[in-house]
Structure 1
């Protein structure tokens, strides 16, 4: 009987502890190559979550600025009016974009793709 309890407890821990992003509010992390392919082949919103001065120093063409610290229901709705829009999120190195992606997912946005930072972006940028 003791073995069964231990086995069931272990199984329960495995099922709950290794879930990763299984909640309704999640985003998908993709490669920069996949992000570029999406930009080239479908309608997307490219979201730069750095600060204004960073954005002004260079950004991905067509990117819209929404600093991570300013993301809330109102500011997100101005930039992303439809909750099911495809949104590609980046920052400088990939840390803020993860935070921003999680915040957007928590606000109910359903097609969020985080692709890291512009410091390793091998494609075109503009001032």
Structure 2
């Protein structure tokens, strides 16, 4: 009798469980409605950051968002050189994967970060406003 299928299932479950937790250490990941409330709250200092490509950004984005492509090799230096540390960074991408990567980089550099879990696709699906 082999335990290989059982071991593989157990490893997959553990990787999924701990992988998701590790990705959000140091920042909050929220859905579109809460993200909208955070960026609309004028009592908080928030910088909106779109980490998609320039072409994706040009097709539509959240109003007043700064665009710095997280896949650009200079993302970290560009972001830390442009984004103020005294404001929370509200970061998003297309689906939520790249923004988690960007959020981790920003947190490592001392930023307070809120990340749009479902990305721009979730934002538009929820009927939230965009700039085109």
Whether 1:49 aligns to 2:51 is yes
Q: Structure 1 CA distance, aligned partners of 2:122 and 2:31?
A: 11
Match of 1:78? Answer: 81
Match of 2:94? Answer: 92
Q: Structure 2 CA distance, aligned partners of 1:112 and 1:35?
A: 11
Over residues 26-47 of structure 1, what are the superposed CA-to-partner deviations in whole Å (9 max), with x where a residue is unaligned? 2111121111111111331110
Match of 2:28? Answer: 28
How far apart are 1:77 and its partner, in Å?
A: 2.4
TM (normalized to structure 2)?
0.71
Tell me which structure has the larger Cα radius of gyration. Answer: 1
Q: Structure 1 CA distance, aligned partners of 2:80 and 2:30?
A: 23
Indicate if the aligned counterparts of 2:51 and 2:99 stay in contact, CA closer than 8 A: yes
Q: Would you identify which runs of 4 or more consecutive aligned residues in structure 1 move more than 3 Å?
A: none
Matched positions, count: 105
What SS does structure 2 have at the residue aligned with 1:68?
coil
Whether 1:124 aligns to 2:125 is no
Q: Structure 1 unaligned runs (5+)?
A: 1-17
Superposition CA RMSD, Å? 2.1
